[in-house]
Structure 1
């Protein structure tokens, strides 16, 4: 018969901040800092061992089934505000006959790998490397558990031992890539040098792909690694890999993605990054635009590769001359063709719209985009994927850029149903601030230099939708006011500061 679940008396010991039902109040919970937890630094955290003990207590003291014990432990810790994102939520194997506490399977795999590395026995490496890679791919919590128990130095040593053995090197790099996914802090200078050396020396497409995956994982949300890799010469390695292995779809897609990651500014731990500088280096020093557009010609029927190439091109469109160069190299033509051919693929549509939005930053390119017939396709994309907020946002943003400072383009957009599509998107996604904001900006750009369009747009119900967006979203207030003002609607304009009523304090 199951015992009643009651809290134990705490006696004179003050309760732990992580007290859960059935746990002695004096049993202090462990906390630990982990690089992968940077996004949840404000949350309470516990050690894996603490969670495992709680699960085991539920099984032994409250006679729960293993799955129920795990669920109960999760509920109890989460109810107390504990972040369990990096905790393996599974039952640890029971203790052995001699009473020795067992470990999670990934730690047993790691012990096997560490033993083979310590004895420099390359013949024993394949099995634990393959097992570790598979287990790390399952979830971030397993990767973090392995990372905290010395997986990185063991895998790095395995990579070094695998030099000269193609198949073993592939397995070691696969394990390294899986381990680094979400844990870029693990990589050190020795690891960066090993990856750069491997990529420079390798002519094999499969090994190159494995190395590039490691680089990409190491640079995502990690500005120091990005800068270190760029200084080490990774950009010509990536563009060279695309040019040399232009027929290998997965390699081209992954290398383009790695180039794109080099232009990110996503590390919250640094005040500013070198995203813009890296984009310029890819274009000016490594002929990145030509390499990417030439690569696209080999994959006219591969939407996944073309989508990634579009996404990377959009990150490189940071200067007027770069936008124009994309058009001159034929990049605009392949984007328009891709948008027309892949209208049924929302991920591709979203990336192409983002790329068109980016290159439309150049006023001359705006005209080329409209002349290529992209306006009608953008409107079609919004209408066809009206239930997809990201496509609605990117579509409205692309039309907004095409309308900016271009009255003649505004007429084309209006005739093609652009204003109607934007207002339909606002109706479809009233809670999506990004959609509401981009649609308001599009309406304003359409009428700011083309007052004759105010009447037709108001007749579509624009005033009410814009007023609703303004009331619902604080971030929409400024753009909504501007849109209403340029439409000729009555709107209260606030004077934030007039320069009167006293001077500045000295």
Structure 2
């Protein structure tokens, strides 16, 4: 279980370091961080900055109070907007400033502004921008009143910018906050998002996709168990077929396609969802997209990840190669082999060829061995590349030993042997590749029987 402390506990520790140990403020801050980290405390949600000067806090309090007072009287919209801009600019200065603005009560004041019927729609736009700025990395402020305000602006008939800004606000409130995700999800937001997906404007749909991805995050260390999988299951069950259809509708829109494939991949949490994508002709769409964006690193990287996810289903794994993916994948990886893209491509190859000699044969005939070895030589010091490359080689040759000679002629044995000295923590994968290539390797017997009991590394069962 991760150890968690409150912001107040952290601030008190910094103050004690100053008052009792006589440290300078910056030294006191660094000492507090070191102290808590040595105790195994997670500080990811803690503001590790010096407190604002009291004069600055006074200015923030005054700015929030002025906005509150202006909203109570018949104030010109321009004056109200200018005052919200003052608060938003303050929030954008840093996390410590956001916290100070939040403590001054800006959240409720901004919701009061939204509740006040204004004839000038730009007031609401500025208000939503200010709320988003205030709550980015500070989502704890959200309550039921805020969720009600969100839903008010998710109607398809609402102004375009208001919908877009509201979706961005929702997304920021879901990041690193499991309770917000659950509360928003349980408020039946999917019904609103379903209507918005019918919008013909790709900008709105992209914002909806970002909300989908935020709802299935599992990044809140304060919660032992989240609902990420369940949210993904429900979203995928209801929307996956339509999202696959959107691949065809927007197949030439680079930014949209990237976000769409990223979202579809994130929703692949069950075996049956792979089949759902296949039945909706998603596999053909992915290959068309790879052909349309042959040299686009971002899109091909996401396509590799989606292919790996789809290969988790045996039927889809065979279908991918049957439909002609092998030469497309080989060409894409050959053209897009920066570090993180190479890892995604090699991982896709490993997934496609696992216990599948037919897939291995097709990729072999498409020239993938040369691409694998070139990448491993190119990134000889990158552990993740070497790990995925070793897995890809092992799966390629494990049931297709006729490929060994080709891999060895390409010089892969030297690469793997060098890796044994460099990367001890991926030794298993490297040795498995060497073993199946028929190379000399010193294998370690992990499990031995002693008097009816099994033991490994001192553990006895």
TM > 0.5: yes
Q: Deviations over 1:69-117 (max 9, x none)?
A: xxxxxxxxxxxxxxxxxxxxxxxxxxxxxxxx46698776545434324
1:375 to 312, 322, 326: 326
Q: Deviations over 1:108-140 (max 9, x none)?
A: 654543432465857342222244445545655
For the residues of structure 1 that align with 2:213 and 2:283, how far apart are their CA atoms? Answer: 19
Residues 144 and 470 from structure 1, CA distance in 2 versus in 1: closer, same or farther, beyond 3 angstroms?
A: farther
Q: Deviations over 1:322-363 (max 9, x none)?
A: 111112212222221222212332222222221122112111
Show the counterpart of 1:453: 403
Q: Deviations over 1:241-267 (max 9, x none)?
A: 112x1x212111111121122222222
Residues 45 and 142 from structure 1, CA distance in 2 versus in 1: closer, same or farther, beyond 3 angstroms?
A: closer
Show the counterpart of 1:479: 429
Show the counterpart of 1:8: none
Deviates more, 1:172-181 or 1:139-148: 139-148
Give how far 1:15 is off.
Answer: 4.2
Number of residue-to-residue matches in the alignment:
429
Q: Deviations over 1:2-47 (max 9, x none)?
A: xxxxxxxxxxx964243679xxx9xxx999x9xxx96547996531
For the residues of structure 2 that align with 1:197 and 1:500, how far apart are their CA atoms? Answer: 68
Greater relative contact order (CA < 8 Å, ≥ 6 in sequence):
2
Show the counterpart of 2:183: 228
Pairwise CA RMSD? 3.3
- TM-score after normalising by structure 2: 0.82
For the residues of structure 2 that align with 1:125 and 1:225, how far apart are their CA atoms? Answer: 29
Residues 406 and 260 from structure 1, CA distance in 2 versus in 1: closer, same or farther, beyond 3 angstroms?
A: same
For the residues of structure 2 that align with 1:234 and 1:357, how far apart are their CA atoms? Answer: 30
1:125 to 49, 73, 80: 80
CA contact (8 A) 2:26 2:50 kept: no
Residues 376 and 179 from structure 1, CA distance in 2 versus in 1: closer, same or farther, beyond 3 angstroms?
A: farther
For the residues of structure 2 that align with 1:329 and 1:479, how far apart are their CA atoms? Answer: 36
Gapped runs of 5+ residues in structure 2? 1-18, 454-458
Deviates more, 1:105-114 or 1:200-209: 105-114
Show the counterpart of 1:495: 445
CA contact (8 A) 1:382 1:425 kept: no
For the residues of structure 2 that align with 1:258 and 1:353, how far apart are their CA atoms? Answer: 23
Show the counterpart of 1:49: 53
Residues 315 and 505 from structure 1, CA distance in 2 versus in 1: closer, same or farther, beyond 3 angstroms?
A: closer
2:271 to 317, 320, 326: 320
For the residues of structure 1 that align with 2:69 and 2:447, how far apart are their CA atoms? Answer: 70
For the residues of structure 2 that align with 1:425 and 1:106, how far apart are their CA atoms? Answer: 54
Show the counterpart of 2:229: 276
CA contact (8 A) 1:122 1:162 kept: no
Give how far 1:296 is off.
Answer: 3.2
1:331 to 279, 282, 291: 282
Q: Deviations over 1:270-306 (max 9, x none)?
A: 223222211110122xx21122123333323211011
Gapped runs of 5+ residues in structure 1? 1-12, 51-100
Show the counterpart of 1:74: none
For the residues of structure 2 that align with 1:471 and 1:350, how far apart are their CA atoms? Answer: 29
- TM-score after normalising by structure 1: 0.76
Show the counterpart of 1:253: 206
